[in-house]
Structure 1
Amino acid sequence: MTDILIILQARMSSSRLPGKVLKEILGKPMLEHQLQRLSHISTPHQLIVATSDNTSDNAIEALCRQLNVGCYRGDLDDVLTRYYHAAQSVNQDKKIKHIVRITGDCPLIDANIIDEVITHYINQQVDYCSNCAPPTLPDGLDVEIFSFTALKQAFEQAILPSEREHVTPFIRNNPQLFSTANYRYQTDLSHLRWTVDEPEDFDFVTQVYHNLYNKKMYFTMNDILLLLSKQPSLKNINNNYHRNEGLSRSLIEDKEQAHE
């Protein structure tokens, strides 16, 4: 039994692109494509989708049943609580020691990168590791891994809206409590945007799939980079958006709460 649990968070009620996780690319829901890509992770692990108990997310649970993927449903807005309870739901025997966080808006996620971040975390022997603090990879290849103990402490102590909605800020904001590490790629690719938050993002990802999927079902980051070198105009589809806009909005809520 592995001690690593991957939790993929997904919901239908995105403010900028509602229902995005089940929008179809080449006849399959975006979330199904992402789950297929995660199946290529070589590190032994368990996987569960964590969605909300809002009725709008019934369709996500139904897809998970269809694909025989575990699904936990919890609080819509307090994603930290949802994560903790999702982990608890598969940790009855106390074997889970490490949690990998993936978000459902990353249909170009690369399993090789996930394996490398997990290896870096284990080698560094830290409480938390990511490839996005600071980022050196395209937005949409973000991976975080942290100890179950750190997740439990964050669940019990985090107060700020940003710390409840985005799961890991409490860990990153308290270096006196948690040791951290960051995975750096050899080339800075952080200017590239491969996540799906806006309609233009979905258009970009759809173009990538149309160009690569039928030739090579599991195409990698390097395959996408090669495509962009041949068709650089693809990058212009969604290059007017900024990284981590959702977290930025939550930080504004933190300030508003502080002044109440």
Structure 2
Amino acid sequence: MELKKPKIVATIEARMTSSRLPGKVLKEVLGKPMLYYLVERLRIVPSIDEIVLATTINKTDDILIDFAKGEKISYFRGSEEDVMSRVLGAAESAHADIIVEITADCPIIDPVVIDQTIQLYLHNPCDYASNVIVRSYPIGMDTQVFSFETLKKSFGMTEDKLDREHVTRHIRQNPDLFKHVHLVSSYMDYWPELAVTLDEVSDYELIKKIIEYYYNKNPYFSCADIVELIKIEETWLEINRNVKRKGLN
């Protein structure tokens, strides 16, 4: 009997009320919102079967639903604070077997890195695969992969506010309960101190420069391309050097 292929769903956590840079996910570069670039990159990941925008029930996020409809991707609305329940609901709405958790803070994430993390998960006995616990890639390439059942199990085991806010915190902090595997970069992608994530205005300025440099040549520029460019354009490092990163917690 042929085994049913698991359905792999990418969830994008996004909201308009970011405390540090409100509306950041729709800030534009070359006439397109940041969220557009992320969705385009997720579309070309061969392993992903569906993309779901996981946003909140806030009125301010109605505009994100309009974006999802315009891009013809699925969407789900849930709690702003309990992000764990929101991602679980988004995955359930799409009948996901496997969740690829992505945040809207990562608009220039590398599609190949996402696929490698998925393949690592699929081909190893584990509950959780990621490139975020063992840091080697730049911040902004963050990919986490786990099954719907694993997240559901974790959800049932914790009511801690921080666990519920940071979707995989309980999974990450309990490797005795959930087996982890880690994706580590090659030397071409290696730069764990580099941040190409969208937290503050200065991050937007750096990401804008990177997109403007590469987009017309190659819209799907890689993590290695970004590392190579920043090594050449050393002064760009100063743009967002002073941003304090919250981390995964």
Deviation at residue 97 of structure 1 after TM alignment: 2.1
Match in the other structure for 1:222:
224
Question: Which deviates further from its counterpart, 229-238 or 190-199?
Answer: 229-238
Q: How many residues align?
A: 243
Match in the other structure for 2:43:
39
User: Contact between 1:109 and 1:141, CA under 8 Å: does it hold in 2?
Assistant: yes
Q: Percent identity?
A: 37
Is 1:70 aligned to residue 71 of structure 2? no
Distance 1:186 1:218 in 2: 19
Deviation at residue 155 of structure 1 after TM alignment: 1.8
- Equivalences for residues 1-260 of structure 1 within 5 A: 2-91=6-95, 96-187=96-187, 188-243=190-245, 245=246, 247-248=248-249
User: Contact between 1:37 and 1:110, CA under 8 Å: does it hold in 2?
Assistant: yes
User: Contact between 1:139 and 1:192, CA under 8 Å: does it hold in 2?
Assistant: yes
User: Contact between 2:230 and 2:237, CA under 8 Å: does it hold in 1?
Assistant: yes
Distance 1:97 1:38 in 2: 17
Distance 1:7 1:133 in 2: 19
Deviation at residue 39 of structure 1 after TM alignment: 1.2
The one-letter code sitting in structure 1 at the alignment partner of 2:129 is: C
Bigger share in helix = 1
TM-score (normalizing by structure 1): 0.89
Deviations 1:59-98 (A, max 9, x none): 000000011010101101100010111111122xxxx321
SS of match in other structure, 1:48: strand
TM-score (normalizing by structure 2): 0.93
What 5-or-longer segments of structure 1 have no aligned partner? 249-260
Question: Which deviates further from its counterpart, 234-243 or 130-139?
Answer: 234-243
Distance 1:247 1:43 in 2: 25
Distance 1:7 1:162 in 2: 19
User: Contact between 1:120 and 1:183, CA under 8 Å: does it hold in 2?
Assistant: yes
CA RMSD of aligned residues (A): 1.4
Distance 2:116 2:44 in 1: 13
Deviation at residue 161 of structure 1 after TM alignment: 1.5
- Segments ≥4 residues shifted beyond 3 Å: none
Match in the other structure for 1:258:
none
What 5-or-longer segments of structure 2 have no aligned partner? none
Distance 2:70 2:48 in 1: 23
Deviation at residue 216 of structure 1 after TM alignment: 1.7
Deviations 1:24-77 (A, max 9, x none): 111011101110111121214221110001011000000000110101011011
Question: Which deviates further from its counterpart, 57-66 or 122-131?
Answer: 122-131
Deviation at residue 230 of structure 1 after TM alignment: 2.1
